[in-house]
Chain A
Amino acid sequence: MKKTWPLWEVFVRSKNGLEHRHFGSLRAADAEMALENARDVYTRRMEGVSIWVVESKNITASNPENNGELFEPAQDKVYRHPTFYKLPDELKHM
């Protein structure tokens, strides 16, 4: 099979103080080209001040089939939330 340009995931920081957020993906021959393409495809209107690109194959993603064992245990741990604790009304700001 003919080799094709690999897929990259693009993360953009929209302004300093904010985190990089996933913006989308694109195809490029190498990291440098992925950065240049990301600039043209995802930041034509001042959407960003910093770009990360990472080749998609390097991302390990959780599988929705495992969502039960991964995320459900958190559901019965309400004591991790501040509102679980009953405090007197006189006590303001805690």
Chain B
Amino acid sequence: MSENEVKNLEDIFEARIARDEKIEPKDWMPEKYRKTHIRQISQHAHSEIVGMLPEGNWITRAPSLRRKAALLAKVQDEAGHGLYLYSACETLGISREELYDQLHTGKAKYSSIFNYPTLTWADMGAIGWLVDGAAIINQVPLCNTSYGPYARAMVRVCKEESFHQRQGFESLLKLCKGTPAQKEMAQDALNRWWWPSLMMFGPTDDESTHTEQSMKWKLKRKTNDELRQQFVDQTVPQAEILGINIPDPDLKWNAERKHYDFGEINWDEFWQVVKGHGPCNKKRIKDRVGAWERGAWVRDAALAYSDKKELGEQTESKIAS
């Protein structure tokens, strides 16, 4: 294909997206579109998979059967979300093996929030409330993104995500209405998860490199800073209901902007964690790779069993004929 022909195809492609048409796997797409989508969808899938680890830690220590059932269901959902997203990503011509390999070797990123430790039971509530709350704000616009398989996966993810946030808030509310020690535990969880949650929306708009292109492809409908503001505005009144304090002395209502002003995010910390130096980066990947390697014999045995069955069926049909 000549350069001119490609340019022509690209113009037709961009026009289709501008008209809100969806792009499906076998449609022609620019290489950059394919690569950007593989990067974003796989990061998203990896985040779901790694996101199970900090919570898995608490399943056996949930304080009641009710909480345990909810946490198990949430973690199972996250495995499911990872699988929807890996499948969507595979439609772009990358194999599942390659995707896992990129996660396991550290070549691919996942959401930095999961590199923080879950120290107390209250962290399960705080993750549901704040981390899933932030994720919902990030994810809802993706239900309308231009790539069909990603948009369809996101519709399913968003439908299921709402329970994650509600169970987290309920669990924190219970602690906040409990003994002073329980309320203190909830406050401590908020203190530790607040800032990392704000970082989930990514660098500020002037530092964000992909925003313009992503907006055009509808991978993004609002900028990082707009989404972060939406999260703060939505979360402050929720903290008031819980009766615990957001750890930001600069947080105050700005009547003129009709938004909350909030303090400076520690971007050094953000970049440190992104670059692999967060409190749990090494542990998360070690646990993930360990689980994958320990499962190898199960995967092999399942394949061997399937081959054996197929062979058996062939022999049977031969005997029958």
Contact = CB atoms under 8 A, between A and B. Distances in A.
Interface residues of B, number: 25
B33 to A, nearest CB: 15
B160 A40 contact: no
B152 A24 contact: yes
Contacts of A58: none
Contact of A24 (B76, B96, B153, B303): B153
Interface of A: 2-5, 7, 24-27, 29-30, 33, 40-41, 44-45, 61, 63-65
Contact of A30 (B83, B153, B306): B306
A64 B302 contact: no
A33 B306 CA distance: 10
Interface string B303-314: 101100100000
Contacts of A30: 302, 305-306, 309
A61 B91 CA distance: 13
Interface in B196-249: none
Interface string B150-186: 0011001000100000000000000000000000000
B302 A33 contact: yes
Given A5-B302, A63-B26, 17 more contacts: A4-B96, A4-B97, A7-B90, A24-B84, A24-B87, A25-B90, A29-B299, A29-B306, A30-B302, A30-B305, A40-B76, A41-B80, A44-B73, A44-B77, A44-B160, A64-B24, A64-B27
A26 B80 CA distance: 10
B267 interface: no
A64 B153 contact: no
Q: Which 5 residue pairs of A and B lie closest in terms of their CB atoms, listed nearest first?
A: A29-B302, A30-B306, A25-B87, A29-B306, A29-B303
Q: State the main secondary structure of chain B at its contact with A.
A: helix
A66 to B, nearest CB: 10
Contacts of B153: 24
A41 B83 contact: yes
A26 B87 contact: yes
Contacts of A44: 73, 76-77, 80, 160
B253 interface: no
A5 B309 CA distance: 15
Contact of B80 (A33, A40, A61): A40
Given A29-B305, A30-B305, A30-B309, A41 B90 contact: no
Nearest to B81: A41
22 contacts: A2-B97, A3-B303, A7-B87, A24-B84, A24-B153, A25-B87, A25-B90, A26-B87, A27-B96, A29-B299, A29-B302, A29-B305, A29-B306, A30-B305, A30-B306, A30-B309, A33-B302, A40-B80, A41-B80, A63-B26, A64-B28, A65-B28
